Amino acid sequence: MIVHPIDYRYGTPEMKRIWSEESKIKRMIWVEMALLKALAKKGYVDEKTVKENKKKALKIKVERVKEIEREIKHDIMSLVKAISEVVDDSRWVHFGATSNDIIDTATATQLRDSIKILEVKLRKLALILVDKSLEYKDVVCLGRTHGQAALPVTYGFRFAIWASEIARHYQRLQQMKDRLLVGQLSGAVGTQAAFGDDGFEIEEEVMRLLNLKPAIISSQIVPRDVYCEYIEFLANLSATLEKIALNFRILQRAEVGEVLERFEKKQVGSSTMPHKRNPIDCENICGLARVVRGFVEPQHQSAILWEERDLTNSSAERITLVEATILTDHILTKMIKVVENLQLDFESVRRNLEMQRGLNLSEAVMISLTKKGVERQKAHEILRQVSMRAYENKTTLFEELVKNDEIMKYFSKEELKKILDPENYLGTAKERIEKVARWVREVVK
């Protein structure tokens, strides 16, 4: 019986394959076989036997491991017994290892392969956002702070900000790999006592075979601060993805109408209102991002363990690492699709800008007045009073400005019109977009 929505609704096939039960067991077999190979290198076991054993072990079915587990109530010992059933000379299977040597090292391979997928998608999203920032560099729109009309900005500027965030997430992922992608072969309490003087060499060889690094030190488990950092990364990324999606939703509202999420030819928006074009992809991103961030606290709690370890982390991590990774990959994939197919309604963009009747350029007039010699605070008060009259009279800022004798001592009507042109009050916006584009491309190259 399928219960969890990840099984039938959320997640990409490539990421779910990595975190499937079959994959987990296969990867733990990889670790056990790497251990045998490392032992063979030190003369414990014949290398030819190890090669044959690996072929046999990789054919073990999940069902057999679970059947043994139902009897003995221990997942890793069930795997060890299943391997021992099929290999030649089982004496050295799991030799010197403890359960979490196998679990944590196998998990590191899952994290490694997951990061490869996330890297590719982060790079793709960053570059799409950069392309959009340059495409819309000159599309002047209404900036908003507190949900209210603010100065003009350009759509390209917005996309550049989002591109910079995604590029920083890409950087964080690169910087985190050295700390995160580590395994261990350190035994029951971390001392490698069973291996004697060979401990370091055996551990290093196992990690080399698996394309990992050995943890600098571990008890019975790899210290969980590295998993906390990973979940925090996913939470941080999910916050950025939700922010972008939320802004797309706001900008798609009927009374704003500047942005359009892709709507398929036969897509249905509502079961009762045939006209609806709901932003379902962005809403999906926002909802699942909140779930991802919910895993931060249980993962932190899983880092707080007794002495060399207890088992309270195990059950939680079967959920936190798997679901947080799959859901983050899901919403990242969905965001790529949203941005690729996003449309701007240029008429609505211009309408919303002009609807402000020039009031959102009050700062431009204030700054110009200050440059003419008026004390800045006085200029602010003059413009505040003029703006409030424009609100009350439902007139344009220009109409109220030309009535003000104090203002007209300093400006001609033509000068005021030029000051109130949104195109003339963008500062370094366009140059900053180009600067961000160059930086992002350098970061993710």
Q: Domain limits of the chain?
A: 359-419
Q: Which positions are annotated as active-site residues?
A: 146, 270
Using 50, 70 and 90 to split pLDDT, how confident is the model at 162?
very high
Which pLDDT does position 2 carry in this prediction?
87
Confidence check: pLDDT of 270 > 70: no
How many other C-beta atoms lie within 10 A of the C-beta of residue 106? Answer: 24
Buried b (16+ CB within 10 A) or exposed e, 335-373: bbebbeebebbeebbbebbeebbbbbbbebbbbbbeeee
How many other C-beta atoms lie within 10 A of the C-beta of residue 22? Answer: 10
Q: Give the residue among 183, 182, 190, 221 at the shortest CA–CA distance from 310.
A: 221
Q: Give the residue among 431, 444, 423 at the shortest CA–CA distance from 129.
A: 444
Distance CA 195, CA 184 (A): 13
Confidence check: pLDDT of 361 > 70: yes
Which pLDDT does position 383 carry in this prediction?
95
Confidence check: pLDDT of 15 > 80: yes
Buried b (16+ CB within 10 A) or exposed e, 222-244: bbbebbbebbbbbbbbbbbbbbb
Which pLDDT does position 1 carry in this prediction?
85
List, for residues 277-302, the tens digit of each pLDDT value. 888 899 999 999 999 999 999 999 99
Residue type, 49: T
Using 50, 70 and 90 to split pLDDT, how confident is the model at 172?
very high
Exposed (0-12), middle (13-18) or buried (19+): which is 307, by Cβ within 10 Å? exposed
Which pLDDT does position 352 carry in this prediction?
95
List, for residues 401-430, the tens digit of each pLDDT value. 999 999 999 999 999 999 999 999 999 999
Distance CA 299, CA 231 (A): 7
Which pLDDT does position 48 carry in this prediction?
86
Using 50, 70 and 90 to split pLDDT, how confident is the model at 262?
confident
How many other C-beta atoms lie within 10 A of the C-beta of residue 168? Answer: 17
Q: What is the mean pLDDT of residues 294-316?
A: 94
Distance CA 377, CA 234 (A): 45
Which pLDDT does position 407 carry in this prediction?
93
Q: Give the residue among 243, 262, 242 at the shortest CA–CA distance from 252.
A: 262
Confidence check: pLDDT of 276 > 70: no
Average pLDDT score over the chain: 95
Q: Which helix (H) or strand (E) holds 343?
A: strand 343-344
Q: What is the mean pLDDT of residues 191-201?
A: 95
Cβ partners under 8 Å of residue 195, min gap 6: 96, 185, 187, 202, 203
Please state at what angle helix 225-252 crosses helix 312-341, rounded to 10 degrees: 30
Spelled out in words, what is the top-level CATH class assigned to the domain 359-419?
mainly alpha
Q: What is the mean pLDDT of residues 203-227?
A: 96
Distance CA 39, CA 429 (A): 62
Which pLDDT does position 266 carry in this prediction?
76
Q: What is the pTM of this model?
A: 0.94
Q: What is the mean pLDDT of residues 36-57?
A: 91
Which pLDDT does position 271 carry in this prediction?
66
How is residue 263 written in tokens?
């709507």
Which pLDDT does position 118 carry in this prediction?
98
